[in-house]
Structure 1
Amino acid sequence: MALDAAVGTVPWTIKGELILNCNCTVFCPCVVSLGQHPPTEGHCQAWAGVRIDEGQYGDEDLSGLNVGLFLEIPGNMGRGNWKAAAFIDDRASDAAYDGLVNIFSGAARGTTGLFSLLVSEFLGAERAPVVFETEGKERRLMVGKKIQGAVVPVEGKDGKDIVVTNTEYWMGPDITVAKATKGRVRAFGRVWDFENRSAEICQIDWHGPR
């Protein structure tokens, strides 16, 4: 495990899938506008889940772990002033936990480095039972009683998923348009319910520190 002084220089990678559900009506305008268009409700509240299929932070293996995220943004995503928090899989070793906190706070730089610029208040990170399940096309995220979420793709022509492709969105170029079948958050004094609201599914291939 690298010393704190080396944070921002440690090589890291994460490959897997991310799901996100926010309070926008379907579909969130931030994907194509890259955060320049206001959220449909004027502000953004969201939860997200990351399933890590393959990952490393330095010499530490992150494969098989899950992460939950809490996001609150007062206006356009691109203008910053985000509040964020991370729920780290309680199966993570101490070294993996520290690495994931560095990645999801933006301190590790690279793909998620923009968090260090956009998040004005990192509410913290904590260990939690983070479960990411897939059944058919539905993806589910459960973080104890704090996040209970499920998303499904929106069907387009011939029953195929609607996918926004070749974007410059930070999460990845291809975003599957989805909506939440469940989206309950009970954390940090917030009580949210985003059922039937906008959601995203994205295959991720992130890395750092460059």
Structure 2
Amino acid sequence: MASDRIEVAAKIDNRHPAAMKSGLGTIPWTIKGELVLNCNCTVFCPCVVSLGMHPPTEGHCQTWGGVRIDTGEYGDVDLSGLNIGLLIEIPGMMSRGNWKVGLFIDDRATDAQFNALVDIFSGKAKGTTGLFSVLVGEIVGVERQPIQYINEGKERRITVGRKIDGVVYPVEGKNADEEIMISNTKYWMGPDITVATASKGRVRAFGRVWDFDGRSAEICQIDWHGPR
């Protein structure tokens, strides 16, 4: 019986024959450090334990965040010592997508570092942040900004130019020397999340004016990698 399958000698590639292959999505990368988020939830964010299957406490999510990269690389590009700022807006449950994201890259980054971080935080580099390529419907902007991520005792102070000004600290438990942790989760950021809150959470960026003082926050030690 005749087959309607068309045999081809090689995978179809419609790029110009002389064009170099970018390697995007195949480059090994790692980021180790810390991430903080402060959102508009009035109590601790339900996304951590529901994995995005429960709506935020206000029905929609507005979040700013900061990432401190202690060590990292993208191929042969060293990312160690750089910081990242984030703005995330989600219309309903996290898992349903249609996110809007603003990305702030440390103004100390070289062009190669800038491009590497955009690839990672857009999801194009795959791996841990690869879900962004599915969930993010719009990148509202990417900017270079001076970014500070400072640990002062238990507090984390994050400033992104004049765009974000935040102070996040762990919620105190019965034993003041131990953080309240949600451990062994399948949350995309990492398995162990410190329950926190913000004494300051000010955003003035991309047409958004947010103040999330006293709202939910998270602190997470990150160990991200790609492309798998």
Common topology (TM > 0.5): yes
Separation in structure 1 between the aligned mates of residue 119 and residue 102 of structure 2, nearest angstrom = 12
The answer as to 2:33 corresponding to 1:16 is: yes
* 2:174 equivalent in structure 1: 157
Q: Over aligned residue pairs, what C-alpha RMSD do you find?
A: 0.9
| Higher mean C-alpha displacement, 121-130 vs 75-84 | 121-130
Q: Structure 1, unaligned stretches of length 5 or more?
A: none
For residues 138-162 of structure 1, give each alpha carbon's deviation from its aligned partner in whole angstroms, at most 9, with x where no partner exists: 0011001100011000011211210
Give the corresponding residue for 2:194: 176
**1:125 CA displacement:** 1.3
Answering whether residue 75 of structure 2 is matched by residue 58 of structure 1, we say yes
Identical amino acids, percent of aligned pairs: 72
Match of 1:198 in 2: 216
SS at match of 1:5: coil
Q: 2:206 aligns with which of 177, 180, 188?
A: 188
Partners of 2:170 and 2:21 in 1: how far apart? Answer: 40
Aligned runs of 1:23-172 on 2, under 5 Å? 23-159=40-176, 160-172=178-190
Please list every run of 5 or more consecutive structure 2 residues that lacks an aligned counterpart in the other structure: 1-19
Give the TM-score normalised by the residue count of structure 2: 0.90
Contact 2:169 2:196 in 1 (8 A): yes
Looking at structure 1, the residues matched to 138 and 24 of structure 2 have their Cα atoms a distance apart, in angstroms, of 19
Q: Output the CA distance in 2 between the equivalents of 1:158 and 1:19.
A: 22
The Cα offsets for residues 109-136 of structure 1, whole Å up to 9 and x where unpaired, read as 0000000000000113111101100100
Distance 1:48 1:21 in 2: 6
The amino acid that maps onto 1:73 is: I
**3-state SS in 1 of match to 2:22:** helix
1:4, distance to aligned residue in structure 2 (A): 7.1
**Counterpart residue type for residue 119 of structure 1:** V
Whether the 8 Å CA contact 2:43–2:57 is kept in 1: the answer is no
Q: Which runs of 4+ in 1 moved over 2 A?
A: none
1:145-180 deviation per Cα after TM superposition (whole angstroms, max 9, x unaligned): 100011000011211210000000000000000000
